[in-house]
Amino acid sequence: MASKKYTLLLGALCFFLTNVSAQSYDWKDSSLIPKKGQAQHSEFLQNQNAFPAKPRNQWEIGLSVGNSLISGDVYAKIPQIGWGAHVRKAFGYIFSARVQYIGGIAKGMNFTPAYNYAKNPAFGPYYDAPQNIRRGSTTPGLPGGQAGQLYQVSSKELQRNSLYVPMTDNILDAAYYNYRTVSHQLALQGIVTLNNIRFHKSKTNFVIYGLAGIGGMIYETKVNALNASGASYESLFNTVAATYGSSFKNRRQILRDLKAGMDNTYESKADGHQLRRPKLFDMTFKPVAQVGAGLAFKVGKRFSIGVEEVFTTTKDDLLDGQRWQEWAAGDAALTRDFDTWHYTNINFNYSLGAKSVEPLWWLNPLDYAYNELNAPRHMKMPKPVLDDADGDGVTDQFDNEPNTPAGCPVDTHGVARDTDGDGVPDCKDKELITPTQCQPVDADGVGKCPDPECCKNIQPAPPACNLVDLPSINFGGNASSLSAEAKALCGSVASSLRGNPECKLIVCGSAAKSKSGQALGQKRVDAIVKYLVEVQGISADRVVAQYDCHEGDPSVVELRAEKK
């Protein structure tokens, strides 16, 4: 289930990154230029200055939440709450300054027991640990010996009761260092953006940055050394130490058992600087130095989300309330390294400001230069000097005919147009389109075309067919033979055919639907054709029989003229 949530979160972030991008600005807009940059802006617009004025940019405010952790002598508990707020302003495209407040509560608990804690005021008076002393001339409770001789006594008896009880193994107590530290930091940081200068794209949706700063920290560290009744955890600590020892493998079980047997009061003040360091609000004050790095993602025109790590160094070994080694027994030496504070956080940022561009770390300073090179809007171009000796509109360096006669239209190479390719330019050609077969031409571009073959032997047109008003032949009932009236009509048609030898006659029968009707229609057509050919003597090739050329009355056969 958790993996699905992370996948959805990552998908949402990718959606924002692919759909939201830092916006550029109109470099001509003088309202975006601060008063001190107006003179440069005016010079730039008039091409008297090559560099545009830096625009006014927005302030960024942000809140953060994350994990606070002390890297020191005590095993840190993770996660622990941290919070913060900041104000940031860009002074250039790379550098910006930020004032940041960081608050946090860090906790820790060791899983390895300590035995040499006599110098730790939170544990020495309540648990038996070896503490070295030198015998005085009279030191009550110690066996006899010379003055100045070194002895180990119980820290608890000495610090609480001023008794010199010799230290033995059977009274040695284990102790588990722990702490709860409340811290507040305020620092001025310089931030360097590493990737907003882009050579292959106009803008970026995320920036990588590093930071360094100085400031101050106040903190208070307390220890859970006693239970609710004010008694020590002597029995619990000794039992856990005897059961598990110092094994890293058993660390989780050790910490669980300690947590189950201890309260959560952190009632005792940890080892501290007391009056040796300045205090503020009754907490120890230390100057600090910070370094860090982060990523910020653009999720809206004014909104961004960042992931950041801030590392704070204090040259102080008491952030976790512990600074003593386990050696030498009875006279512990200081540990080697100072403690450091880590704040790993997610920050939510908003940009403020009207008549301003977005914070400059979101802008690519090369955006103007690349766009101007690609599509000049401001570049001051020199006036070109291009000679054209013949005045045809094509400069001499591109003119293939540098002495074109005045007034002659030319092509893109400066050559006078010659549409028909006859060698005479159009401006002098009296026949603009001379066919190829009519060339060569005379000086005016006029060709001499030969007569076409079709015009040498012109044949007269064939006579027209003048057969008109041809009759139709009617048959009665189922008859297929010609009646006297029909023969008379056919004779009249035959006379017309003889007078018009260029014509043919079409005998056109009806397209009957039944087979018997089709057969009857065919007989009637054949009877007419036979009469005209055999009786009237008309050539058979001039009488054409068509059996289904009309859909009218099946008893009627139509006669039609066909022109040659």
Supply the CATH number for residue 271's domain: 2.40.160.20
Which tokens go with 2? Answer: 């958790």
| 64 inside domain | yes
Q: Within a domain: residue 436?
A: no
User: By C-alpha distance, which of 251, 248, 267 is closest to 259?
Assistant: 251
Strand order in the sheet with 556-563: 472-474, 556-563, 503-510, 543-550
Give the integer Cα–Cα distance in Å for 347 and 307: 6
Whether omega for the bond prior to residue 440 falls within 30 degrees of 0, making it cis, is yes
Nearest-angstrom CA–CA distance, 338 and 284: 16
* Rounded (5°) CA angle 208-63-84: 95
Smallest CA-to-CA distance from 92 within 41, 53, 124, 126 is with 53
Single out the residue of 166, 174, 90 nearest to residue 132, CA to CA. Answer: 166
CA dist 107 and 70 (Å) reads 8
Collapsing DSSP to helix, strand or coil, 98 comes out as: strand
62 inside domain: yes
The residue segments making up the domain with residue 525 are: 472-563
As for how many domains the chain has, the answer is 2
Which residues, listed in sequence order, are joined to residue 358 by a DSSP beta bridge? none
Encoded tokens for 496 = 């017309």
Q: Which of 413, 477, 424 is nearest to 447 (CA)?
A: 424
The answer to whether the beta carbons of residues 22 and 358 sit under 8 Å apart is yes
Name the helix (H) or strand (E) containing 210: strand 206-223
Hey, what amino acid is at 308? E
Burial class from Cβ neighbours inside 10 Å (0-12, 13-18, 19+) for residue 533 reads middle
Tokens matching residue 455 = 């015009």
pLDDT at position 147 is 66
- Which residue type is seen at 394? V
DSSP designation for 324: B
Would you state the structure tokens that stand for residue 376, as one six-digit string? 């000049």
Q: How far apart are CA 170 and CA 152, in angstroms?
A: 14
Structure tokens at 541: 């090739």
Is the CB of residue 350 less than 8 Å from the CB of residue 62?
Answer: yes
Residue 126 in any domain: the answer is: no
What CA–CA distances, in Å, run from 479 to 171, 356, 374, 524, 525? 153, 110, 97, 8, 12
pLDDT per residue rounded down to tens, the chain (564 residues)? 445 654 555 555 454 444 444 447 888 899 999 999 999 999 999 989 999 999 999 999 999 999 999 999 999 999 999 999 999 999 999 999 999 999 999 999 999 999 999 999 999 999 999 999 987 656 666 666 666 678 889 999 999 988 888 888 788 999 999 999 999 999 999 999 999 999 999 888 999 999 999 999 999 999 999 999 999 999 999 999 999 999 999 999 999 999 999 999 999 999 998 777 888 999 999 999 999 999 999 999 999 999 999 999 999 999 999 999 999 999 999 999 999 999 999 999 999 999 999 999 999 999 989 998 888 888 887 777 778 888 888 888 888 888 888 888 888 888 888 887 777 887 887 777 878 777 787 877 777 877 666 666 667 766 677 788 888 889 888 888 888 898 888 989 888 888 888 888 888 988 777 888 888 888 888 998 999 898 898 898 988 988 888 777 888 888 888 865
Residue 562, beta-bridge partner list: 504
Strands (E), 40-91: 59-71, 81-90
What 8-state DSSP symbol labels residue 453?
Answer: G
Domain contains 142: no
Record the tokens describing residue 192, joined without a space: 């360097």
- From 336, 354, 371, the end of a domain falls on 371
Considering the domain architecture, whether residues 72 and 199 belong to the same structural domain is answered as: yes
- Identify the CA nearest to 115 among candidates 372, 405, 422, 325: 325
CA atoms within 13 A of residue 318's CA, in its CB half-sphere = 21
* Beta pairing partners, 295: 208, 307
| Integer Cα distance of 89 and 91 in angstroms | 7
pLDDT of residue 289: 99
Distances (CA, A) of 33 to 202, 316, 350, 357: 21, 47, 22, 10
> What's residue 456's pLDDT?
63
- Are 55 and 185 members of one domain? yes
Residue 278 lies in a domain: yes
What confidence score (pLDDT) does residue 381 get?
A: 77
> Coil, strand or helix: which one is 174?
coil
Q: Is residue 343 part of a domain?
A: yes
Residue 274: phi and psi, rounded to 5, are: 50, -120
The pair of three-digit structure tokens given for residue 55, joined into one six-digit string: 């625009």
Q: What is the CATH number of the domain that holds 542?
A: 3.30.1330.60
Contact criterion met (CB below 8 Å) for 363 and 24: yes
Q: Which of 371, 401, 432 is the last residue of a domain?
A: 371
Joined tokens for residue 164: 């010199």
Q: What is the pTM of this model?
A: 0.66
Residue where one domain finishes, among candidates 371, 398, 415: 371
Closest-CA residue to 128 (of 73, 178, 166): 166
Contact 313, 305 (CB under 8 A): no
d(C-alpha 241, C-alpha 457), whole Å: 135
Q: Is 124 exposed, middle or buried (0-12, 13-18, 19+ CB in 10 A)?
A: buried
Whether 40 is in a domain gets the answer yes
* 362 & 479 share domain: no
Q: Residue 317 pairs with which residues in a beta bridge?
A: none
Which positions ≥6 away from 179 have C-beta within 8 Å? 70, 74, 106, 107, 108, 221, 222, 223, 266, 270, 320, 321, 322
pLDDT at 432: 78
Tell me the C-alpha distance between 179 and 238, whole Å.
19
148: its two tokens: 């100045």
